[in-house]
Homo-oligomer: A and B are copies of this chain.
Amino acid sequence: MNSPRPAYRLSEIVQRFGGELLGDADVRITQVATLERAGPGHISFYANSRYRKQLEQTRADAVILGADASSSTERARIVCKDAYAYFARVSALLNPPLAVDPGTHPLAAIHPTARVAPSASIGPFVSVGAGAEVGEGSLVEANCTLGDNVRIGSDCRLHSGVSVYHDCVIGDRVILHSGVIIGADGFGLAWDGGRWHKIPQIGRVLLGDDVEIGANTTIDRGALDDTVVEEGVKLDNQIQIGHNCRIGAHTAIAGCVGVAGSTRIGRYCRIGGSAMVGGHLEIADNVEISGATGVSKSITKAGTYTSLFPMSLHRDWLRNAAHIRHLDAMAERLRDLEARLVELEGKKK
């Protein structure tokens, strides 16, 4: 937010990303902003009629919107099919990732057998283990630890305080936020002789290209085979992925979700925050799971799935929830009533 910002004329943006330009093509755009907060040099977007009032009052120099709303403002505007996706592209144009400053900080600890690409950047207090590799253009920020034989692809960004355990493999253009732990031991125990015995976790974690993983998320290494996160998967913060899981390409999982071991989640799935997915399950492609849902069996068909006890005032909950423990008895009483009523009705005739 402090370096001189790039600026683009509206005409240049439309040339690059398409869409129809209405109004002053020469407006210079330096940043994206919400309709409410936008000011000079800002471009905003309108994708939801809830924000109609903000659109009317915005001081943005330009707005991205759909054809149906093209006459809702007099301001310079780009009319396109998907205003939010268009906005995402413009924002990425205006906010490129910071350039990586190649080189290794003198207070890093790089094992002599590790290979760090010349264009990579290694911050202070980073430890890189024996035989590890960091690819071209990758940035490893302060206080990260890469175990022996870890492979980090090119153009990755590891924010501060990431740990990658030995032998794990990270693809290209992967983003790992602070506190991410890749490849810790899975929860593998055998009960024997009155105590738990640890089962060595000898698999790895493999992360595909273009994966992004949020702060403090953990992905355990496989017990025997590998834990796999396929390309384009996006994981939010504080997610736990158990050992031997496979997360299919382009699946997105919101914060605080737990996925127990050996579960396979399909491609293009979307899992809401704080959901829990049990172990040894199969979730099909294109499945959507609502927030706070507990998944305890496999899902074989695309669709949206939910399990959430409806919230109410605590005093109402007390009154209603008590009956949950008697639902079976209630069902039995209902059956009994039905039978007796049929009998009475028979006698009536």
- Interface contact B215-A37, CB-CB below 8 Å: no
A-side interface residues, number (CB < 8 Å): 134
**Chain B binder among A7-15, A114-122, A329-337:** A329-337
- Interface contact A33-B224, CB-CB below 8 Å: yes
Given contacts A31-B202, A125-B127, A178-B165, contact A327 B328 (CB under 8 A): no
How distant is A80 from chain B, measured CB to nearest CB, in Å? Answer: 11
Residues of B within 8 A of A316 (CB): 325
Given contacts A161-B145, A234-B187, A276-B274, contact A197 B95 (CB under 8 A): no
Residues of B within 8 A of A185 (CB): 175, 177, 214
Q: Count this chain's copies in the assembly.
A: 3
Residues of B within 8 A of A304 (CB): 313-315
- Interface contact B88-A254, CB-CB below 8 Å: no
How distant is A306 from chain B, measured CB to nearest CB, in Å? Answer: 4
Q: A138 interface residue, CB < 8 Å from B?
A: no
- Interface contact B131-A2, CB-CB below 8 Å: yes
The distance in angstroms between the C-alpha atoms of A87 and B85, with both chains bound, is 51
How distant is A217 from chain B, measured CB to nearest CB, in Å? Answer: 8
Q: Which of B197, B278, B293, B323 contacts A327 (CB 8 A)?
A: B323
- Interface contact A314-B306, CB-CB below 8 Å: yes
Q: A179 interface residue, CB < 8 Å from B?
A: yes
Taken residue by residue from 71 to 98, chain A's Cβ proximity to chain B (1 for < 8 Å, 0 otherwise) reads as 0000000000010110111011011000
Contacting B at CB under 8 A, from A27-53, are 31-34, 37
Given contacts A88-B197, A190-B84, contact A260 B255 (CB under 8 A): yes
- Interface contact A338-B328, CB-CB below 8 Å: no
- Interface contact A1-B187, CB-CB below 8 Å: no
- Interface contact B127-A123, CB-CB below 8 Å: yes
- Interface contact A320-B313, CB-CB below 8 Å: no
- Interface contact B292-A308, CB-CB below 8 Å: no
The distance in angstroms between the C-alpha atoms of A85 and B189, with both chains bound, is 9
Given contacts A216-B179, A309-B324, contact A292 B291 (CB under 8 A): no
- Interface contact A184-B2, CB-CB below 8 Å: no
The distance in angstroms between the C-alpha atoms of A235 and B212, with both chains bound, is 26
Given contacts A323-B328, A340-B345, contact A178 B178 (CB under 8 A): no
The distance in angstroms between the C-alpha atoms of A56 and B170, with both chains bound, is 35
How distant is A39 from chain B, measured CB to nearest CB, in Å? Answer: 12
A97 (CB) vs chain B CBs: closest residue: B200
The distance in angstroms between the C-alpha atoms of A234 and B197, with both chains bound, is 10
How distant is A98 from chain B, measured CB to nearest CB, in Å? Answer: 9
Taken residue by residue from 288 to 327, chain A's Cβ proximity to chain B (1 for < 8 Å, 0 otherwise) reads as 1011111111000001111111111111111111111111
How distant is A2 from chain B, measured CB to nearest CB, in Å? Answer: 6
Q: A58 interface residue, CB < 8 Å from B?
A: no
Interface core residue of A91, A178, A330 (most chain B CB under 10 Å): A178
Q: A148 interface residue, CB < 8 Å from B?
A: yes
Q: A240 interface residue, CB < 8 Å from B?
A: yes
Residues of B within 8 A of A143 (CB): 125, 127, 143, 145, 161, 163
The 5 closest A-B pairs by CB, nearest first: A88-B190, A145-B160, A95-B200, A292-B294, A127-B142
The 16 sampled A-B contact pairs (Cβ below 8 Å) are: A2-B131, A84-B190, A88-B190, A143-B161, A145-B161, A178-B184, A179-B216, A196-B232, A242-B255, A254-B260, A293-B311, A294-B309, A305-B317, A306-B321, A307-B309, A334-B337
